[in-house]
């Protein structure tokens, strides 16, 4: 196994620890599967012994009293007592004096079917079928409860991720921080869940099974089993060394082939030049043919090395199996035999079966090598302290009536890059202002600061001169509504999307807000009206319909400030008029801050705040900035010019 320092994985596993009942079922299934497999191997050994001995036991007259009870009268052949057609009697005789022999003798004494060959054969087959069925059920239980325990842990971790994302706020969404909650919630949790499944499959089942199988082999013949184990270990070491050498050769010749292929491609790019200078009869030239031959030879060597990997596996399996059979056969054929055939079958099958737990542990190592980084990211996110806190003496923020202001505000992202650098401005309440920047992060940073999804690195955000950092989070976020085009709807009913899960908002209030925002009519035409499931996994709504629902939510919440992100596309005239009417109703009497993306909006707003490299670069109307700001003229040209999508970027 590659690494025993899976610190983050084990912390995540304990953090999302499943219910005790699931762990108990998993442990029972693990132990049952291991024990039943051992019983199957013992049963197979007994079956082999029956088929070889035909239930015949030959002993000297002096040992007759030691024969297990009710063995029947023997036949006398010379000076030897012969017990024929006695089922498992020969095996019971050889196991006498051992714990397993006492068990076998008890069954032989009390279960009459084991005393005749035909009955014994049938009984062993039936018991084998039953054990096989039980083994299948125990393996199913092991897999089921491993999946249950892993998914239970993943569910708990997802719950904690959701709770942590609400504590941290929208910093990940607005600033694109390193630990994106959505990526952790979907991809990293699935990777970790795969590691948890591999862990619960292997612990304790694979370890217990490996110990039991090795113990059985050593119990049959300690020194012989130890010799076979050492032989297998040595073969594995040699095989790994040869495989690594073969892989290095494959990589080397693969690189050589790639280099030659690159050179040949360069020749193809220069075909016009070659056509001008090379004779018409032969434009390839000797150098091209030589490189082509070299590339062919390197490719052949590469794929030959790859084929050698499979061949070496086959050879080592056959050689190892042959040596093991030689050692075991030598002991079986010795005079007197040092190992019975049934013991050979039991020991060989036990050692071969150790490949199952070894393979499981190998898969665990591979799964944990992927799960450890995912667990490290998840635990780092869960242990992050919220960037936005609430002071103990925080008071509700009154609705602003005069202005919103930033005073010497600096904001840096997780990389230390300054999105805002000592910025100050004031926005009068009731005005319409656009935020425009040479980058895409700064407008979102301004939006996140005003809605207090994060606090500035330095400086203050003021509503009517009051620092919102000393106000309650709920009151500040209740005054500011973010309306971003790609984050309007969640999967749920129309009502749930409008009231955002607030139980204090009645259906009558929702319907009234929909009428005011001109959304009532199209909602009524949905399949289930206000109970229609919409959102990413629900009934599809057009962008304009989604935006109208966003304006309906604004009317319902009645915020003081609206921060609006714009759609890039244009709408048809009818829907555009409906959307404009909804917007006018929603923004009436409120402060509107637009994250500008369309030229008509920049022309319509009263004021534009232009940012460049974190600094406030310009402040004025569209006409003023066109006249005074070279940067604004450049942005207008590259972003809003009607030919920008029709001219190629390179000649």
The tokens describing 626, both together, are 């066109």
Q: How far apart are the first and last CA of the chain?
A: 55
Nearest-CA neighbor of 284 among 269, 267, 296, 299? Answer: 267
pLDDT of residue 406: 94
Q: Enumerate the domain spans of the chain.
A: 7-202+367-382, 222-338, 432-451+476-640
For the stretch 16-48, pLDDT in tens is: 675 666 778 888 888 899 899 888 888 888 888
Answer yes or no: is pLDDT of 455 > 70.
yes
Answer yes or no: is pLDDT of 1 > 50.
no
The hierarchical CATH code for the domain 432-451+476-640 is 3.40.50.300
Answer yes or no: is pLDDT of 444 > 90.
no
Answer yes or no: is pLDDT of 314 > 80.
no
Please report, rounded to a whole number, the percentage of residues in the chain having pLDDT higher than 70: 83
Please report, rounded to a whole number, the percentage of residues in the chain having pLDDT higher than 90: 15
Choose the weakest-confidence range: 164-168, 251-255, 415-419, 610-614: 164-168
Burial of residue 638 (CB within 10 Å: 0-12, 13-18, 19+) is exposed
What count of Cα atoms within 13 Å lies in the side-chain half-sphere of residue 4?
0
For the stretch 399-436, pLDDT in tens is: 999 999 999 999 887 677 788 999 999 999 999 999 99
pTM of this prediction? Answer: 0.66
Beta bridge partners of 493: 533
For the stretch 550-580, pLDDT in tens is: 889 888 888 999 998 877 666 666 777 778 8
Summary mean pLDDT of the chain: 81
Nearest-CA neighbor of 80 among 64, 91, 100? Answer: 64
Read off the pLDDT of each residue in 344-364 and give the average, rounded to a whole number: 82
pLDDT of residue 541: 86
């Amino acid at each position: 196994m590659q690494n025993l320092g899976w610190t983050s994985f084990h912390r995540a596993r304990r953090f999302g620890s499943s219910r005790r009942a699931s762990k108990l079922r998993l442990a029972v299934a693990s132990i049952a599967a291991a024990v039943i497999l051992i019983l199957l191997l013992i049963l197979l050994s007994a079956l082999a012994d029956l088929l070889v001995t035909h239930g015949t036991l030959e002993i000297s007259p002096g040992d007759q009293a030691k024969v297990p009870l009710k063995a029947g009268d023997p036949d006398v052949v010379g000076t030897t007592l012969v017990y024929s057609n006695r089922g498992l009697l020969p095996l019971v005789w050889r196991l006498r004096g051992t714990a397993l022999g006492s068990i076998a003798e008890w069954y032989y004494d009390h279960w009459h079917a084991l005393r005749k060959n035909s009955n014994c054969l049938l009984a062993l087959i039936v018991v084998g079928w039953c054990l096989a069925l039980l083994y299948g059920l125990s393996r199913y239980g092991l897999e089921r409860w491993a999946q249950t325990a892993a998914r239970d842990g993943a569910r708990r971790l997802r719950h904690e991720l959701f709770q942590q994302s609400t504590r941290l706020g929208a910093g990940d969404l607005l600033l694109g921080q390193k630990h994106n909650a959505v990526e952790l919630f979907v991809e990293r949790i699935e990777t970790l869940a795969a590691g948890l499944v591999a862990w619960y499959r292997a612990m304790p089942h694979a370890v217990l099974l490996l110990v039991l199988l090795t113990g059985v082999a050593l119990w049959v013949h300690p020194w012989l089993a130890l010799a076979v184990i050492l032989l297998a270990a040595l073969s594995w070491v040699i095989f790994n060394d040869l495989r690594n050498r073969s892989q290095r050769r494959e990589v080397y010749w693969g690189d050589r082939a790639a280099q030659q292929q690159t050179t040949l491609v360069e020749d193809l790019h220069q075909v016009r030049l070659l056509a001008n200078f090379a004779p018409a009869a032969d434009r390839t030239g000797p150098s091209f043919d030589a490189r082509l031959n070299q590339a062919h030879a390197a490719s052949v060597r590469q794929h030959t090395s790859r084929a050698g990997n499979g061949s070496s596996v086959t050879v080592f399996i056959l050689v190892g199996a042959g040596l093991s059979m030689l050692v075991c056969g030598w002991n079986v054929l010795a005079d007197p035999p040092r190992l019975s055939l049934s013991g050979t079958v039991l020991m060989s099958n036990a050692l071969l079966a150790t490949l199952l737990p070894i393979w499981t542990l190998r898969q665990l190592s591979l799964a944990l090598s992927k799960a450890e980084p995912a667990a490290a990211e998840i635990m780092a996110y869960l242990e992050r302290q919220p960037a936005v806190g609430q002071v103990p003496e925080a008071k509700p923020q009154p609705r602003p009536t005069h202005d919103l202001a930033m005073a010497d505000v600096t904001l840096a992202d997780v990389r230390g890059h300054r999105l805002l650098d000592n910025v100050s401005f004031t926005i009068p309440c009731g005005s319409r202002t656009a935020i425009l920047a040479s980058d895409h992060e700064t407008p979102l940073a301004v939006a996140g600061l005003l809605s207090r999804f994060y606090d500035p690195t330095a400086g203050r955000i003021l509503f009517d001169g009051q620092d919102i950092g000393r106000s309650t989070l709920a009151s500040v976020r209740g005054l500011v509504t973010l309306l971003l085009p790609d984050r309007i709807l969640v999967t749920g009913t129309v009502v749930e999307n409008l009231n955002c899960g607030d139980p204090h908002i009645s259906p009558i209030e929702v319907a009234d807000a929909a009428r005011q925002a001109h959304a009532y009519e199209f909602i009524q035409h949905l399949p289930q009206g206000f109970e229609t499931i919409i959102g990413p996994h629900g009934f599809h709504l057009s962008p304009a319909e989604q935006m109208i629902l966003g304006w309906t939510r604004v009317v319902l919440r009645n915020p003081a400030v609206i921060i609006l992100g714009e759609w890039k596309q244009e709408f048809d005239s009818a829907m555009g008029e409906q959307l404009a009417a909804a917007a006018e109703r929603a923004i009436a009497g409120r402060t509107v801050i637009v994250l500008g993306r369309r030229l008509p909006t920049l022309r319509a707003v009263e004021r534009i705040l232009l940012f460049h490299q974190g600094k406030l670069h310009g402040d004025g109307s569209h006409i003023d900035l066109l006249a005074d700001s070279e940067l604004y003229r450049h942005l207008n040209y590259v972003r809003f010019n009607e030919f920008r999508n029709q001219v190629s970027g390179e000649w």
